[in-house]
Amino acid sequence: MIDLRSDTVTKPSQAMREAMAQAPVGDDVYGEDATINSLEERVANLFGKEAGLFTPSGSMANQLGIRLLVNPGEELLLEEDAHIVRAELGAGAAHGGITTRTWLAPRGALEAQTALAMARPNAGPYLVSTKAIAIENTHNFGGGTVQQISEIKRLYEGASESSIALHLDGARIWNAHIASGVALSEYGKCFETISVCLSKGLGAPVGSVLLSSGENIQKARVWRKRLGGGMRQVGILGAACHFALDNNILRISEDHKHAKTLATRINDVAPSVINPEHVQTNIIGLNLKELGMTSAELAVEAKKEGVFVSALGPHYARLVTHLDVTTPEINTAADVLCSILQVKK
């Protein structure tokens, strides 16, 4: 099977498993896991932040981040297709009493002015006050869109003037970094809280890190435990994350090349489905509406030929390239998808 549903499907390599087996560990709830301590420090340094906190999922890192910035009954602004509002099952409301409003952006691309125009800081006793804005880079459901650093800086400047904090959902910030050449520390300057995943493009089996000031991370550590996320000899997982950072950042450019190849091949037979110019990283969002095909139909047909794709909306299917898909497999997947989409045309 060629599994293009997500970059979360990667399995730890033999070398990664060996690194995990060798990891020095301790009780992390006591702060004694050397591998986790060094991982938290390492990731914080990459982004120029004071401290980091290892979490079992990106969702938990996001939720711990936004609850540092927004009190119960206050407001967080996001793009309509943000993972935090679409794929975290209302956690911000359920756990943190956080209310949200959303803006709509084609392919999730940030325009600072749109977000800033919605903000209502210090709205008084009658209206809800905006406390934070979250953005996603790359934007998952937007099709792997890289946010422009100029727009991020514009957002940061505007938000700072109103004392509105910024959170970065950086589950795929590594892909944004490789595609744009913008340093991780540049992103770090613009956000009070950042979540990053080691378990997406970087290929670790589990693990995310929340980054912020030392004081904020102390508070987040308490909330992580309160939510049941205090873990013990978790350096076993941290070692996989160290291995991923050592070996798997630069190779992400290969995934981006593969995604471009797939998009170009599909565009050749079904131009309405995807514009290869919109494919900036490792995600390819397919719009099947004009072909009159549902994403479920595509998923079923492709599966029969050994290719797994995600059906995310009635006519929206997603392909994601990652480190467990080789160039020959990409070519095979392109053959399979083209023959299905060509027949439909």
Ligand X SMILES: *Cc1c(COP(=O)(O)O)cnc(C)c1O
**Which of 63, 140, 147, 267: binder of ligand X (CB under 6 A)?**
140
Q: Which is nearer to ligand X, 35 or 62 (CB)?
A: 62
Name, in order, each residue with C-beta under 8 angstroms of 145's C-beta and a sequence gap of 6 or more: 107, 108, 109, 138, 139, 278, 280, 281
79 near ligand X (CB under 6 A) = no
- CB 132 to ligand X: min, Å: 16
The answer to whether the CB of 98 falls within 8 A of the CB of 62 is no
Q: Which is nearer to ligand X, 234 or 340 (CB)?
A: 234
- Crossing angle of the two packed helices 295-304 and 327-344, in degrees rounded to 10: 130
Rounded-to-integer distance, Cα 139 and Cα 273, Å: 19
The bridge status of strand 2-3 relative to strand 283-287 is unpaired
Rounded-to-integer distance, Cα 290 and Cα 344, Å: 10
- 182-201 positions binding ligand X, by CB under 6 A: 197, 200
Q: Which is nearer to ligand X, 43 or 334 (CB)?
A: 43
The two most distant CA atoms of the chain are separated, in Å, by 61
Q: Which is nearer to ligand X, 55 or 130 (CB)?
A: 55
Contact code string over 162-181 relative to ligand X, x by CB under 6 A: -------x-x----------
Q: Which is nearer to ligand X, 234 or 293 (CB)?
A: 234
Q: Which residue is nearest to ligand X (CB)?
A: 58
**Which of 59, 130, 180, 193: binder of ligand X (CB under 6 A)?**
59
**CA dist 174 → 22, 68, 124 (Å):** 26, 24, 39
- CB 270 to ligand X: min, Å: 26
- CB 127 to ligand X: min, Å: 29
Stretch that binds ligand X, among 56-64, 90-98, 157-165, 224-232 (CB under 6 A): 56-64
Name, in order, each residue with C-beta under 8 angstroms of 163's C-beta and a sequence gap of 6 or more: 121, 122
Q: What are phi and psi of 250, to 5 degrees?
A: -65, -30
Q: What are phi and psi of 167, to 5 degrees?
A: -115, 135
**Helices and strands, counts by H and E, the chain:** 14, 12
- 200-229 positions binding ligand X, by CB under 6 A: 200, 208
Stretch that binds ligand X, among 52-60, 102-110, 112-120, 218-226 (CB under 6 A): 52-60
Q: Considering CB under 6 A, how many residues would be counted as binding ligand X?
A: 12
Name, in order, each residue with C-beta under 8 angstroms of 118's C-beta and a sequence gap of 6 or more: 77, 101, 103, 130
**Which of 38, 57, 148, 213: binder of ligand X (CB under 6 A)?**
57
255 near ligand X (CB under 6 A) = no
136 near ligand X (CB under 6 A) = yes
- CB 290 to ligand X: min, Å: 27
Query: Residue 235, CB half-sphere, CA atoms under 13 Å: how many?
Result: 20
**CA dist 287 → 307, 335, 340 (Å):** 18, 18, 14
- CB 7 to ligand X: min, Å: 9
102 near ligand X (CB under 6 A) = no
Contact residues toward ligand X (CB under 6 A) are: 57-59, 62, 83, 136, 140, 169, 171, 197, 200, 208
